[in-house]
Amino acid sequence: MRIRQLTKEEAAERVALSEFAFQLELTEQQREERKTRFRPEEQWGAFDDEGKMLSALHLAPLEIYIGQRSLKMGGVAGVATWPEARRHGCVAKLLAHALEVMRGQGQTVSMLHPFSFPFYRKYGWEMTIERKQYEIESKQLPAIEGFAGQVVRIPKEASALNGVYERFARRYTGMLKRSEEWWEQRALSKPGLAALYRNGDGTPEGYILYDVRNRLMTVHEWAALTEEARRGLWSFVANHDSMADKIAMTVPVDDATSFWFADPRFKQEIIPYFMSRIVDAAGFVAQYPFLPGSADEALTITLIDRHAPWNNGTFRLEWDRDGTARMQQTERQSAGAGIACDIQTLTALLLGNRRPEQMARWGRLQGDGEAVSVLERRVPSLTPYLADFF
C-alpha cells in the first residue's frame, strides 16, 4: 500500500468516491464545481500496488481560536474507502500519515466530524465540542424590550459580518478563523437572509443568518456580543410570528435562553458534534493560553499516544508566572508532582473544558493531588463551540 497526495487528474475519481461513500446525489453542475475547487495538495490517498485508489481523506489547512489566540489546525474531512478495500487498514495508515503531515506543517491540533466516535477515539481523537439545539414555538417568545439599536436586513457579505463574528468566535475554543472564501462557499452558502444588529451609535454588535419557509424559521447562525444585541435579535425573531410557528436554531452549550424566557419548557438537546486531537503536544502547549500563577511551577507528565510517537513518553511541563509554558521530553520521572494520561484525556482537558479534578475522579487522569491542583490552577475554563462544518 502506498500513501501519497492526489493529482489534479484524480479529481473525478475522488468526487466519485465521496459520492459513493456518503451517498450523495450530485448534479453534473455540482460535480464540476467540486472538481473546480479540488486542491490536490490537500488530498491524500491510499493506493494499491497497481495504483488503484483505495481510500482518501481531505486535510484542510485551517485555524481555530483558543482563548483569544489563533492556532493552525488540520481539519480532517471526507474520509472515504471503496467497499472492497474496507477493513484492510487503509484509513488507519492514512490517519497516521496525516498526523505526520500536520506536525510538519505546524498544525499542532486537529479536528473532525466523526461518522463514529468510537472509531476515531481509537486513533487519539476525543469528543470536545457539543452544541445545543432549540425548537421553540413562536407563542413562547416573550415581549423583548431594553435595546436602543435596531436590526436591519443586509446583503449576505463577509465584509459586513466578519468583524462581529471574530469577536464572538474568540470567546470560544474551536471556532474557525474564517477566510473570505470560507464565508462565501460555506457560511453564506445556505439559503436565506442576513440581518445585523447595530447599537444606538450605529456599531454592529450582532447578526443572524436565517431562513423562513413552511412555517419554520431556521436560524443557521447567531452571534450577539452584548445583552442589548441579544435582546434586539430576539425581538427581530419574534417579529416573524405571522410567518413561522416554530424557530429552530443551534447555539453554544453556555447559551442561557431558557433562563431568560418566561416559559423555558421548549425542546432543547445537547448534541455531540466534533472531535479534536492534539497532534504535537509540545508545540501545542507552547501556544496554549494557560493562566498566570503566583510563581513558576512544573510537573512531570507521562503521556500515552500510540499513533504519534513524538507524544509518547515522559515530559516535564513547566510554567512561568505569566502562563507561558513549555514541555520537554525527559529520560525519567523527576522528583515532585506527576500525572499520567493518554492523548485523548489531555485533549479533553485543554480543548473540551473537562476539568482536571473531574478527570481525576473519573479515572482518566492519574497522579498525586498536588499535580492535579497545579493543572486545575493553570488550565482556563474555555467553552468549546464550532458554528461550522467540514
- Is residue 253 left, alpha or beta, with left meaning phi > 0 and alpha meaning psi from -120 to 50? alpha
Question: How does strand 246-251 pair with strand 216-224?
Answer: parallel
Res 333: pLDDT: 57
Res 337: pLDDT: 75
Res 146: pLDDT: 86
Res 142: pLDDT: 86
Res 241: pLDDT: 95
Identity of the amino acid at 191: P
Res 374: pLDDT: 96
CATH number of 280-378: 3.30.1050.10
Q: Cα separation of 2 and 192, whole Å?
A: 44
Q: Cα separation of 240 and 183, whole Å?
A: 26
Low-confidence ranges of the chain (pLDDT < 70): 332-336
Q: What's the CATH superfamily of 2-112?
A: Gcn5-related N-acetyltransferase (GNAT) (3.40.630.30)
Give per-residue pLDDT as tens, 70-111.
Answer: 999 999 999 999 999 999 999 999 999 999 999 999 999 999
Domain with CATH 3.40.630.30 in the chain: 2-112, 132-270
Q: Cα separation of 107 and 112, whole Å?
A: 14
Grid coordinates given for 123: 486513533
* CATH class of this structure's domain 132-270: alpha beta
Q: Cα separation of 251 and 248, whole Å?
A: 10
Cβ atoms of 66 and 289 within 8 Å: the answer is yes
Q: Cα separation of 240 and 363, whole Å?
A: 49
Q: Which letter, b or e, does each residue of 175-210 get, where b requires 16 or more Cβ atoms within 10 Å of its Cβ?
A: bbbbeeebbeeebbeeebebbbbbbeeeebbbbbbb
